[in-house]
Structure 1
Amino acid sequence: MDSVSLGDIAGMIAALAFAFLVFRLGSVIGKAGKILDETRVSLRSTTENVQPTLLKLTDTVSLTNEQLARVDGITTNVSAMTTNASALTSLFAATLGSPVVKVAAFTYGVRSALSASGTKSAGGRRRRRG
């Protein structure tokens, strides 16, 4: 029989080590494949759930834009009303304010003059009696 040399034993150990390495590498690749499969399933379900949410979000943004346009229109109308009210107040003050002040001043002057003349004549009568 042939004798087994030390090189044959070393070759056998190297072959077994290589076979173990291939086996471990195969199991790692298998686990990586399972992880990739789970990731693909998870991504598919996420995509299926996100698409309706994005559609609803698009609808919400559209409705919000419509409401903002309405608010902008209301703001514009309020601004125009404020400008008109300011112009009306200025017109009222210019047209009616000055004559009303003049009439009030005139009536105050007439009342003051009448009360002053009434006081002088009443005071003079008292002196004559006394």
Structure 2
Amino acid sequence: MSPGQIAALVAAGAFVLLVLLLAIPLLKLGKTLDEATIAIRKAHENTDPLFTEANQTLTHVNTQLERVDGITANARAVTGNVSALTSLFTATLGGPLVKAAALSYGVSKAVRARRKAAESPNKHTRRRPRGGKR
């Protein structure tokens, strides 16, 4: 054997050893990819019921939102009716009620002033304005 043939045999042996050393991680990587594929398949199979239930939940929520929208519209209509009724009440009875309240206040003040004047006959019954001329 010549030195070139020996070098070729050593190189071939090193190459076989390298292939064997690299084969182990490649086999492990293949198993890992198989397990990942199985996990992805299972996850895909389990998501169908989840999506179905989520869709049913969203449908139920939309139904409830439509009901709330109807209630809100009715509340808006009631608010408008109450506002109109308040305006009508203020327009028809507000002015006369204010006048009646002012009249009752004036009458009660006058009655108090007369009673006070009747209790103290020596004092002047009329008050003079402040800072005014005599």
Name the counterpart of 2:22: 25
Q: Give how far 1:105 is off.
A: 4.2
**What's the RMSD between the two structures over aligned residues?**
2.7
Q: What are the ranges of 5 or more consecutive residues in structure 2 without an aligned counterpart? A: 122-134
| Aligned amino acid, residue 25 of structure 1 | L
| Aligned amino acid, residue 42 of structure 1 | A
Name the counterpart of 2:84: 87
Name the counterpart of 2:46: 49
Q: Give how far 1:5 is off.
A: 2.2
Name the counterpart of 2:8: 11
CA 1:7/1:109 → structure 2, altered by over 3 Å: closer, same or farther?
Answer: closer
The correspondence of residues 36-75 of structure 1 with structure 2, limited to 5 A, is 36-75=33-72
| Aligned amino acid, residue 28 of structure 2 | K
| Aligned amino acid, residue 51 of structure 1 | D
Q: TM-score, normalised to structure 1's length?
A: 0.73
| Aligned amino acid, residue 66 of structure 1 | T
The runs of at least 4 consecutive aligned structure 1 residues that moved more than 4 Å come to 104-113
**Distance of 1:23 and 1:110 partners within structure 2:** 118
Q: Give the SS at the match of 1:27.
A: helix
What percentage of residue pairs aligned between the two structures are identical?
48
Q: Give how far 1:104 is off.
A: 4.2
Q: TM-score, normalised to structure 2's length?
A: 0.71
**Distance of 1:45 and 1:82 partners within structure 2:** 55
CA 1:109/1:20 → structure 2, altered by over 3 Å: closer, same or farther?
Answer: closer
**Distance of 1:48 and 1:18 partners within structure 2:** 44
Instruction: Work out the number of aligned pairs and report it.
Output: 117
Higher relative contact order (CA 8 A, sep 6+): 2
Name the counterpart of 2:127: none
